């Protein structure tokens, strides 16, 4: 295989920096985190970073100063900083779709200038934010009335993927900041049960639908929006004029919005330089803005911007997204880790891992480089997780004693939500004690000698021994506020960027979701009408036959 790809870049695994890391890994051998901590009493304080409100502890990683320096060399050799700067400048770094990648412009201050094809996009961003704010205020105050003159009591966001996961995650995360008198729900699945459960106790006269779709062609969203429209009209006596008071759209596609029957005066725009999974700080966040209010939404944007600035300007040794991205590469390629766990010690962050799944796996689940040639190195990991402490009583057994190395992020907050009662707030120390304990147990484990010294019978010692040496990053912030959430999301966005840059893949397309969509379209008539699907394989054909027989009852 040639040393360089057609764009002139040396293939990752042919770089001397890659070879240096492989050699270093071999040299490190089985050096244990216990040894690394023993050799450097200052490690716990030294291996930390502060980014905005986020304190990031990376001491419990299987790295030395030399590892980190070699990883930074790799980032330099693969042009991470150059690609980052090209992204911030609005260059078309999404090569397969020939688009700029400018989610960072969504949180740029009013006086910033960010150009795409010579045009400053910042005024447009703020114009839409202002329109969203005016609309959100009208809904929140009850000034916006439904068709029968009643104020809105429930907002239903209809969208999927990036048009659902971001606002749904952030709505859960920021519940204590939401208008508790407004019921905000999210419908994404084309499974009618999702819509049924969302609407069954709602009053059409008081319900507002936000149809959120970048393309406005996504079959799940259009199908659900059509059903919602029918539900609304049947509940309000069939007057189509009701649609204008109960449906708004968020999209880049005004033509399709109008075609669907939503007045484009009730459309909130965003742009093709915002990827779906990078879009919840655009108009896609309208449902969230209605829930938390425009001021809180702007605080969240400022949180994003804090980390954008950090990513753009911090030197490599102190650059948190760079460090987190490089650590992931270290584990994927030099420790054979296949997955990455995100374990928030906050129930409000219950949907954060789901959100990160799309952000990370849709971005970096690729196996050809930017020039279209197969890669011969690991790319994105399987991202998963649930809030602690629940996971501790489910899958942490494998994290502690299983055969797989699963690097994990532990995310926690010093203060619980302000609205918790004193009794419930008092539980917070116990929650956080668990988070710190897990990081400690994963890193240092418990040796056979320690177990035996407790008088454990010899035959039980292996079962009760913890090898440790299992890496974690701990992210600690004062409190889960809108700003802190923005900071967290931007941290992961840029981490994903760093990894894609090193791996030389296009982190901004998602061709891998297309085939299933096309095949579903072909199979559907076979299910509904028994139509013949030419060329169907025997397994799928048999499943279709069986399904039809069972469906008929
Ligand atoms: O799953 C593919 C995808 O295109 C995602 O990237 C996107 O977030 C989602 O579908 C929804 O797309 P849209 O916002 O255009 O409806």
pLDDT at 364: 98
Q: Mutate which of 157, 158, 161, 507 to test ligand 1's pocket (most atoms within 8 Å of Cβ)?
A: 161
In this structure, are 505 and 519 located in the same domain?
no
pLDDT at 40 > cutoff 80: yes
In this structure, are 504 and 516 located in the same domain?
no
pLDDT at 9: 84
Instruction: Establish if 131 belongs to a structural domain.
Output: yes
In this structure, are 506 and 517 located in the same domain?
no
In this structure, are 471 and 497 located in the same domain?
yes
Burial class for 29, CB neighbours closer than 10 Å (0-12, 13-18, 19+) = exposed
pLDDT at 284 > cutoff 90: yes
The enclosing domain of 29 has a CATH number of 3.40.50.10490
In this structure, are 357 and 484 located in the same domain?
yes
Instruction: Establish if 3 belongs to a structural domain.
Output: no
pLDDT at 2 > cutoff 80: no
Residue 272 is given by DSSP the state T
- Over residues 440-444, the mean pLDDT reads 98
Mean pLDDT over the full length of the chain: 97
Paired sense of beta strands 119-120 and 207-212, if any: unpaired
- Over residues 298-303, the mean pLDDT reads 98
Distance in angstroms (rounded) separating the CA atoms of residues 329 and 311: 18
Q: What is the 3-state secondary structure (H, E, C) of 443-489?
A: HHCECHHHHHHCCCCHHHHHHHCECCCCCEEEEEECCCCHHHHHHHH
Instruction: Establish if 10 belongs to a structural domain.
Output: no
Question: What proportion of the chain, given as a percentage, has pLDDT over 90?
Answer: 96
pLDDT at 287 > cutoff 60: yes
In this structure, are 473 and 417 located in the same domain?
yes
In this structure, are 44 and 134 located in the same domain?
no
Instruction: Establish if 202 belongs to a structural domain.
Output: yes
CA-closest candidate to residue 220, choices 451, 538, 521, 539: 521
**What domain range includes position 231?**
103-297
Instruction: Establish if 1 belongs to a structural domain.
Output: no
DSSP per residue, 126-188: HHHHHHHHHHHHHHHHT-SB-TTSPBP-EEEEE--GGGTHHHHHHHHHTGGGS-TTSEEEEE-
C-beta atoms surrounding 318 within 10 Å: 13
pLDDT at 6 > cutoff 60: no
Side-chain-side CA neighbours of 64 within 13 Å: the count stands at 16
Count of structural domains within the chain? 3
**CB within 8 Å of 259: residues ≥ 6 apart:** none
Point out the domain boundary residue: 297, 318, 336.
297
Determine which residue's CA is closest to atom 3 belonging to ligand 1. Answer: 161
- Over residues 313-341, the mean pLDDT reads 98
Q: Is 218 in the pocket of ligand 1 (CB under 6 A)?
A: yes
Distance in angstroms (rounded) separating the CA atoms of residues 550 and 532: 18
Determine which residue's CA is closest to atom 10 belonging to ligand 1. Answer: 161
Distance in angstroms (rounded) separating the CA atoms of residues 308 and 490: 7
Instruction: Establish if 5 belongs to a structural domain.
Output: no
CA-closest candidate to residue 132, choices 287, 2, 273: 287
In this structure, are 357 and 496 located in the same domain?
yes
In this structure, are 357 and 490 located in the same domain?
yes
Q: Which residues pair with 251 in a beta bridge?
A: 269
Burial class for 484, CB neighbours closer than 10 Å (0-12, 13-18, 19+) = buried
pLDDT at 502: 98
Q: Is 160 in the pocket of ligand 1 (CB under 6 A)?
A: yes
- Over residues 180-206, the mean pLDDT reads 98
Helix (H) or strand (E) holding 430: helix 428-444
Point out the domain boundary residue: 259, 282, 297.
297
pLDDT at 8: 75
Instruction: Establish if 4 belongs to a structural domain.
Output: no
C-beta atoms surrounding 401 within 10 Å: 15
Burial class for 371, CB neighbours closer than 10 Å (0-12, 13-18, 19+) = middle
In this structure, are 379 and 420 located in the same domain?
yes
In this structure, are 370 and 270 located in the same domain?
no
Point out the domain boundary residue: 254, 271, 297.
297
pLDDT at 49 > cutoff 80: yes
pLDDT at 435 > cutoff 60: yes
Distance in angstroms (rounded) separating the CA atoms of residues 239 and 244: 11
**pLDDT tens digits for range 161-182:** 999 999 999 999 999 999 999 9
- Over residues 238-264, the mean pLDDT reads 95
Determine which residue's CA is closest to atom 2 belonging to ligand 1. Answer: 513
Q: Mutate which of 163, 517, 518 to test ligand 1's pocket (most atoms within 8 Å of Cβ)?
A: 163
- pLDDT-derived band at 1 (thresholds 50, 70, 90) equals low
What ipTM does the predicted assembly reach?
Answer: 0.98
pLDDT at 30: 86
In this structure, are 133 and 257 located in the same domain?
yes
């Amino acid at each position: 295989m040639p040393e360089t790809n057609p764009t002139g870049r040396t293939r990752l695994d042919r770089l001397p920096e890659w070879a240096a890391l492989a050699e270093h890994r071999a040299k490190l051998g089985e050096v244990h985190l216990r040894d690394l901590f023993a050799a450097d009493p200052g490690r716990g304080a030294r291996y930390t970073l502060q980014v905005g409100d986020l304190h990031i502890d990376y001491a419990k990683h299987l790295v030395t100063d030399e590892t980190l320096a070699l990883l930074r060399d790799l980032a330099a050799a693969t042009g991470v900083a150059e690609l980052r700067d090209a992204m911030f400048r609005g260059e078309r770094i999404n090569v397969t779709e020939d688009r700029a990648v400018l989610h960072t412009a969504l949180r740029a201050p009013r006086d910033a200038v960010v150009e795409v094809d010579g045009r400053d996009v910042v005024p447009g961003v703020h114009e839409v934010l202002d329109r969203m704010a005016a609309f959100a205020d009208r809904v929140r105050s009850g000034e916006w009335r439904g068709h029968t003159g009643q104020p809105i009591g429930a907002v239903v966001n209809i969208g999927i993927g990036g048009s659902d996961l971001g606002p749904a995650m952030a709505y859960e995360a920021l519940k204590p900041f939401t208008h508790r008198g407004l019921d905000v729900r999210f419908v994404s699945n084309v499974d009618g049960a999702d819509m049924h459960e969302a609407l069954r106790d709602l009053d059409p006269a008081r319900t507002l639908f936000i149809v959120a779709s970048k393309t406005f062609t996504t079959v799940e969203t259009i199908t659900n929006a059509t059903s919602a429209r029918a539900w609304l009209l049947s509940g309000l006596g069939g007057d189509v004029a009701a649609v204008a008071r109960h449906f708004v759209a968020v999209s880049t596609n005004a033509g399709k919005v109008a075609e669907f029957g939503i007045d484009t005066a009730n459309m909130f725009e965003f742009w093709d330089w915002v990827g779906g999974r990078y879009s919840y700080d655009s108009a896609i966040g309208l449902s969230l803005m209605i829930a938390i209010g425009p001021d809180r939404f702007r605080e969240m944007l400022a949180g994003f911007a804090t980390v954008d600035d950090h990513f753009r300007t911090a030197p490599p040794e102190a650059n948190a997204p760079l460090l987190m991205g490089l650590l992931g590469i270290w584990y994927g390629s030099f420790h054979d880790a296949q997955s990455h766990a995100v374990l928030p010690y906050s129930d409000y962050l219950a949907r954060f891992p789901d959100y990160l799944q799309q952000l990370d796996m849709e971005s970096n689940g690729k196996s050809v480089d930017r020039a279209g040639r197969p890669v011969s190195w690991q790319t994105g990991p399987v991202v998963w997780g649930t809030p602690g402490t629940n996971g501790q009583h489910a899958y942490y057994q494998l994290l502690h004693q299983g055969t797989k190395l699963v690097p994990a992020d532990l995310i926690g907050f010093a203060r619980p939500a302000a609205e918790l009662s004193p009794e419930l707030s008092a539980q917070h120390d116990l929650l956080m004690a668990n988070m710190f304990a897990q990081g400690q147990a994963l890193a240092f484990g418990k040796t056979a000698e320690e177990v035996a010294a407790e008088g454990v019978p010899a035959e039980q010692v292996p079962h009760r021994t913890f090898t440790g040496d299992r890496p974690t990053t701990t992210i600690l912030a004062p409190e889960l506020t809108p700003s802190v959430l923005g900071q967290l999301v931007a941290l992961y966005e840029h981490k994903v960027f760093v990894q894609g840059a090193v791996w030389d893949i296009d982190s901004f397309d998602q061709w891998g979701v297309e085939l299933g969509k096309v095949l579903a379209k072909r199979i559907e008539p076979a299910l509904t009408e028994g139509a013949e699907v030419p060329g169907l394989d025997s397994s799928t054909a048999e499943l279709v036959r069986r399904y039809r027989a069972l469906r008929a009852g």
